[in-house]
Structure 1
Amino acid sequence: MEVVSVFLQYEFLRNAFFSGIMVGFLAPILGVFLVVRRLSLIADALSHITLSGIAASLLLGKYMVFFGALNPLYLGIVFSVGGALLIEKLRNVYKTYQELSIPIILSGGIGLGVVFISLADGFNTDLFNYLFGSVIAVTRSDLWTITSITIIVTILLIFFYKELFFLSFDEEQAIVSGINKRLVHLVFIIMVALVIASSMRIVGILLVSSLMSLPVAASMRIAKGFKQMFIFSIIFGELAVIIGLISAYHLDLAPGGTIVVTAVLILLITIIFKRR
């Protein structure tokens, strides 16, 4: 209990813990729809465009007082949502080869990020925290931002759940029944963008997509239905975040790595368990 209670003693650890709980809830839920719809790589593309937003904010903060006082998370969210809208636009441009939109945005995000990092005279501690997460860098502002995103995304998920469910398993029938495929997909990809941007403080930009896919992959091994897959994905996601954060703090490691390693171990356990 002492190992866990330390996270409730200090404000910066409470910020990280409660933010992690919300991220561990949201990421696997959206990950279920991403995996079922075979869109897992969208998370990677949006995480890399988010990197560009963070790097741009840190760069502008060196020369402009406004951006120096602004939480880089906000510009990261703007870039992430902008990337989601661009992916949707490119999917309409390349209707026959819609999957092309993902590597285009992913490559563009990496390219922009490298340019901004180079202009900012290279790598710094702040950027490292955004890349791989940090237990001590989550601020009260980050916590409130993540809380707001959690509320917004949860409401949207409840409202669009049936539409997302039908589009995931029978797209043609869903369209025939009158579901606006373009609108639902647009709302969904914006939700993914918001969750990715909000998760980077805990998991890190480069590893956030793992939290959307690994708990889902583990749950698919033992779940006996779509609802069970939701439940197990959330449980595995929360376990990965909690164990990962505790390990990161006590071993002085980046939480992104410990969270993902924990998620991988959970996946391996479910694979072994299923074989038996």
Structure 2
Amino acid sequence: MTITYAIPDTHGCLDELRDALTKVDLSDPSTHLVLLGDYVDRGPDSAGVLAAVKALCDAHPDQVTPLAGNHERWFLDWLGADDNDPAWLLADTGLVTIKSFLPTQVVEQAVAELAGGSIDTVNATLKREISARHDDLIAWLRERPLYYETATHLYVHAGVDEEAGPMWKAVTIDETFTEKFPPSLGPTSVGKVIVAGHTGVGPLHAKEGRMRCWEPFVDAGHIYLDGRVENTGVHNVMRYDAATRTTTFL
């Protein structure tokens, strides 16, 4: 691929994702788009974001790579967990993610069961409804890869085990790919520039005295892109031209 784009954490912000995608030209078959995960939670339309990403992937199967983030893994773990484990459900403030997947009537009826039942009953009902209505989408989500690499860059949601150097692929565990924190900074020994989301760039800039800055954070071995779109309303989109070896941000 000559041009590679990367879009970080979308977190249910469908309109903002659509705006970001207008910057990406997939009409050229040598163009590739990597989405860095965390499509769900926080924003108003997690289900819509997942459907849009899947549709884009289906339309351009050789040009679009959606990676998995920790929020996808947590969502899938909840769906597959025992009904008496409502931890993810209780963390879904205002049931904003649940409501994006289910009709209002179904959610209200399930919540009404709390009056005569238990949180476990509500948990079971909501999981059953989501699984039944979105089985194809959930099956697709389970298949998302944890990283994508080119000759020069390594794209990942959170990070890799950089202490392993060139052996990072054999050593890095799944949780590091999706949940690594704090982020590694400075030169890296993995042999490629690491492009990641997950870590909000604001605090990284603040450490350097740039307060309230949500632009991409770039150092000697990394590019962090997560501009907290759910709060700022803006995506940081990276564009790398392999022919000219230039990186730009849109």
- TM-score, with normalisation over the residues of structure 1? 0.27
**Larger strand fraction of residues:** 2
Report which structure shows greater RCO (CA 8 Å, sep ≥6).
1
TM-score with structure 2 length normalisation?
A: 0.29
